[in-house]
Structure 1
Amino acid sequence: MNTKDRYNRQIILPEIGDSGQDKFSKAKVLVVGAGGLGASILPYLAAAGVGEIGIMDDDVIEISNLHRQVIYKSSAVGKYKVDEAKLMLNELNPTIKVNAIAEKLFGNNAIELFEKYDIIVDATDNIAIKYLINDVCIITNKPMVYGSIFRFQGQVSVFNYQNGPTYRCLYPDENTQSLNCEDAGVIGISVGIIGMLQANEVIKMILETGQVLNGKILVYNILNNEQQKYDFEKNANVVINKQTFEEKYTIIENLVEEILAKEVLDEINNNEVLFLDVRNEDEIPKINFKNGNQIPLMNLRSEIKKLNPNQTIYVFCQSGIRSKIAVELLQKHQFKNIKSIAGGALALNKLLKEEKIKV
């Protein structure tokens, strides 16, 4: 079967043709996240003939994923999502190149990775990672195709496209947190629709046709089929360069020691240990350890005297980004026995549920 047979129905579109198909074959797209959004985005990019697709996710498939992450089979539970996604895409279209990257995105691996691709797609449900993706896209001058879900409502936009507005222009408050699918709940249709809208933005950018959601955010509600489009502008005060990026991510990540949530469970009733929650007070899930204390990161410097620098302290935030900043701050004030809990409150809450531990 030749290329024209595979792509005939889209090649005959005047907006695509042979030249458009050639653009598809030369395009390189990185999708960060192989969950619900990724499971909807990836098949359409592969089927369209996008020449090289990277899939980045360090998670494994769980039975609770299958109602919305529809490219995975029940027999694949426990396997890495990126490996199973690659198998599926290769079966769908063996003519393209698929890169499975079973890693978590960090400041020290993101820039080199992003530079290898033309378009970056945010298919995550983690606010801190969205800011990281945005900042790396600014550094590497790549467009970021954004998608997010909250229950029955989703959002889609394209940031940093042709020097347009960025994620920070729309959402300047990095300390704002929202519930992920695990905590808020989600129906598969929501991620399916929003993921396909994201894939549509990728396709328009590759083909250089249509109107890209640049400086616009599309809000879609599946319960009433209503959608609105809002304009937003570039904020000149948002400045991200390599120096500020390294100070925020790379240096902190290299200096801060992390510990896995499962490694600290035995310490939750140890009075000689302190669990320090640096999230804002309104963030959930609530985790109230008997030997815990909550000091939001923004207040940590002014309230640092409330802490004992000789005590063993495990710091956590929502997902593990702000806790690293907190650890670095405490280290500068001569705190020695201090570690950041990898994955933060989300990882702790998941583990507590699995082990059926009440706190």
Structure 2
Amino acid sequence: MASEPLSAAETRRYARHLVLKGMGGGGQQALKAARVLVVGAGGLGSPVIAYLAGAGIGTLGIVEPDLVSLSNLQRQVIHTTAGIGTGKAASAESFARALNPQVTVAAHAVALTRDNAAGIMADYDVVLDGTDNLVTRRAVAEAARQLAIPLVSGAVSMFDGQVSVFAPGGPDFAALYPAEASDDDLPSCEATGILGPLTGVIGTLMAMEAIKLITGIGEPLIGRVLTYDSQGARFSEFSY
């Protein structure tokens, strides 16, 4: 990815990246040139947006149709009490711009569906999905497959979470979530609850996978699922 040189302010802002072996100026330039879409600005989307904005992603898209509510604030840390009742997309945009004015933020205050997913996602290089239902997740995954865009997918429930990456040439979403899987089979956050910091753990891992994909650093979770048990303080992994 080509990009204009880093400014003096950017050099100071990203100093810890620039001296990091394996990242350096080339990695930061790749982040600056990247266009990344985050679907969902809730529990998982909040740390994703915070860390990608902080890292210097050139263009950060945010898709979120909902409004900020009081019960969100226990885990959705980019939103505020003063912002209750405002749109999450706009709230997330304000947070990202305040954290890093050098990032271009595009807020999409719409629900992503099978009809509009490809149109929204076509302008981006990487997509991260932190939504909480299989209908939306399947729409995102299908559009990512059609567009040959890598997809970072995270999920949480109660005390446990997981992260995986679906990328061109690797196993697709249906290999992990078969067609017969239904939201009716999955516990909802409203019914069973969710431990707040769990979303931070999984969302931060998602942001890490996106940065790895963009910069070429390390080995992304393609064909692998990383799981986290917060009660046992254990990570594990399986392939599919």
- TM-score, normalization: structure 2? 0.94
* Equivalent residue in structure 1 for 2:25, among 15, 18, 23: 18
Per-residue deviation, 1:174: 3.8
Per-residue deviation, 1:175: 3.8
Distance 2:148 2:180 in 1: 21
* Equivalent residue in structure 2 for 1:94, among 92, 101, 117: 101
Distance 1:199 1:175 in 2: 26
* Equivalent residue in structure 1 for 2:36, among 8, 29, 37: 29
Q: Mapping of 1:188-337 within 5 angstroms?
A: 188-232=196-240
Match of 2:11, as an amino acid? Answer: K
1:107 has 2:81 as partner: no
The aligned counterpart of 1:242 is: none
Match of 1:217, as an amino acid? Answer: V
**Which region of structure 1 is more displaced relative to structure 2, 104-113 or 54-63?**
104-113
The aligned counterpart of 1:150 is: 157
* Equivalent residue in structure 1 for 2:176, among 170, 185, 191: 170
CA contact (8 A) 1:145 1:156 kept: yes
1:180 has 2:192 as partner: no
Distance 1:70 1:214 in 2: 28
* Equivalent residue in structure 1 for 2:75, among 68, 73, 76: 68
1:50 has 2:88 as partner: no
Match of 2:74, as an amino acid? Answer: H
Match of 2:206, as an amino acid? Answer: Q
User: For 1:153-180, what per-residue CA distance to the aligned partner results, in whole angstroms no more than 9, with x for missing partners?
Assistant: 0010001x13101110112134432122
User: For 1:29-52, what per-residue CA distance to the aligned partner results, in whole angstroms no more than 9, with x for missing partners?
Assistant: 100001000011101000000000
Match of 1:226, as an amino acid? Answer: R
SS of structure 2 residue aligned to 1:94 = coil
SS of structure 2 residue aligned to 1:229 = strand
Distance 1:8 1:175 in 2: 45
Per-residue deviation, 1:92: 0.4
Per-residue deviation, 1:24: 0.5
1:131 has 2:166 as partner: no
Match of 1:212, as an amino acid? Answer: P
Q: Percent identity?
A: 37
Per-residue deviation, 1:131: 1.0
Distance 2:23 2:119 in 1: 31
**Which region of structure 1 is more displaced relative to structure 2, 48-57 or 175-184?**
175-184
Runs of at least 4 residues of structure 1 off by over 3 A? none
Q: Mapping of 1:340-351 within 5 angstroms?
A: none
Distance 2:81 2:144 in 1: 35
Q: Mapping of 1:75-90 within 5 angstroms?
A: 75-90=82-97
Distance 2:202 2:221 in 1: 13
Q: Which runs of 5+ in 2 are unaligned?
A: 1-7
How many residue pairs get aligned? The number is: 231
Distance 1:179 1:78 in 2: 26
CA contact (8 A) 1:131 1:174 kept: no
Distance 2:10 2:236 in 1: 38
Distance 2:125 2:59 in 1: 10
CA contact (8 A) 2:145 2:168 kept: no
